[in-house]
Amino acid sequence: MEEIKKKDIRALTREQLREFFVSNGDKAFRGNQVYEWLWQKAAYSFDVMTNLSKETREMLEANFVINHIKVDQMQRSSDGTIKNAVRLHDDLIVESVLIPTKSRTTACVSSQVGCSLDCRFCATSRLKRMRNLNPDEIYDQVVAIDNESRLYFERPLSNIVFMGMGEPLMNYNNVLKAIDKITSPDGLGMSPKRITVSTSGVPKLIRKMADDEVKFKLAVSLHSAVDEIRTSIMPFNAKFTLSDLRESLVYWYEKTRSRITYEYVVWDGINDTQKDVDALVEFCRFAPSKVNLIEYNPIDDGEFKQASNAAIDRYVNTLEKNNIVVTVRRSRGKDIDAACGQLANKS
């Protein structure tokens, strides 16, 4: 007998679910009940939908699947950070990270399996981009971390950063759909102000975000404000140059009035001179900016090395003198390869 290919029920909107029940001779509100199970209660199976009759559950089972992610392996760092290896319905794996601090729990989630960009300091860039994640696969990572936060830290998830595997803007529609669900009262009801999308900087899509009037925060992985240097460490910069990037950010700021955060690693012998700092100050002058100086998490044989404290201090002093907010961010979860740029499915 030929097996009927069942549909992924979570690809349906609330309205489509309501219509499905009506066309099966049932009431439209059943669609609402199922929708709540799927999203608010993040149900993994039809069996748990106890306010539906057994027949209805069987009918759903016969027609649909719930392609839920599965946390395959969970690792805990000595600093409390948790890394989930997440298995997708087609057996591909991505990673997401829970980062606890005194006052918050942040989820760092993936948007693609692998990455198509080629940042030379990032472990994920060595994995070929296999595919984009669906909105529900992104949503599920957040729910999994929210559950872990409640279980291990007795508080709900407070923030989300799209800084896991992949380039979120290269999966624009699905990332935005996932954020809609995360912020909707139908889903997790989180404030978009607690969500940050981090991009290596795709100018056309930064403009699109501004046009779409998104309400989440934007972070740009800059790492150098000198074209030649940026291209040498982030080769796609040859195509998306700094002047294009800057223009798109000016546009973003004009439309959203939302402060831009720059992520920046200072490497020994690459971007650690006063000239590099001055270029950065010049680059961020057009809008209120914040620079996060990130600690480098080694992924290679020593080609990239974290700059000296003196070089970091030079950045901090110069930025502060120019009224640019600067923070020095320490790595979390290094011992389990969970820190920025270390996500490479090593388990």
Contact residues: ligand SAH, CB under 6 A: 119, 121-122, 163, 167, 198-200, 221, 263, 265, 294, 296-297, 299, 340-341
Closest distance of CB 340 from ligand SAH, Å: 3
Q: Please, which residue, 163 or 225, has the CB nearer to ligand SAH?
A: 163
Closest distance of CB 283 from ligand SAH, Å: 15
Q: Please, which residue, 39 or 267, has the CB nearer to ligand SAH?
A: 267
Per the annotation, does 284 bind a ligand?
no
d(CA 60, CA 64): 6
Q: Please, which residue, 249 or 299, has the CB nearer to ligand SAH?
A: 299
Closest distance of CB 310 from ligand SAH, Å: 20
Q: Please, which residue, 38 or 265, has the CB nearer to ligand SAH?
A: 265
Per the annotation, does 221 bind a ligand?
yes
Residue 108 designated active-site: no
Residues 343/126, Cβ–Cβ less than 8 Å: no
Per the annotation, does 223 bind a ligand?
yes
d(CA 60, CA 16): 14
Closest distance of CB 125 from ligand SAH, Å: 8
Q: Please, which residue, 19 or 235, has the CB nearer to ligand SAH?
A: 235
Of all residues in this chain, which one has the CB nearest to ligand SAH in the complex? 341
Of 108, 263, 284, 340, catalytic: 340
Per the annotation, does 89 bind a ligand?
no
Residue 340 designated active-site: yes
Of 3, 95, 228, 295, catalytic: 95
Per the annotation, does 158 bind a ligand?
no
Closest distance of CB 126 from ligand SAH, Å: 11
Q: Which residues sit in the known binding site?
A: 115, 119, 122, 166-167, 198, 221-223, 297
Q: Which residues sit in the known binding site for S-adenosyl-L-methionine?
A: 166-167, 198, 221-223, 297
Residues annotated as catalytic are: 95, 340
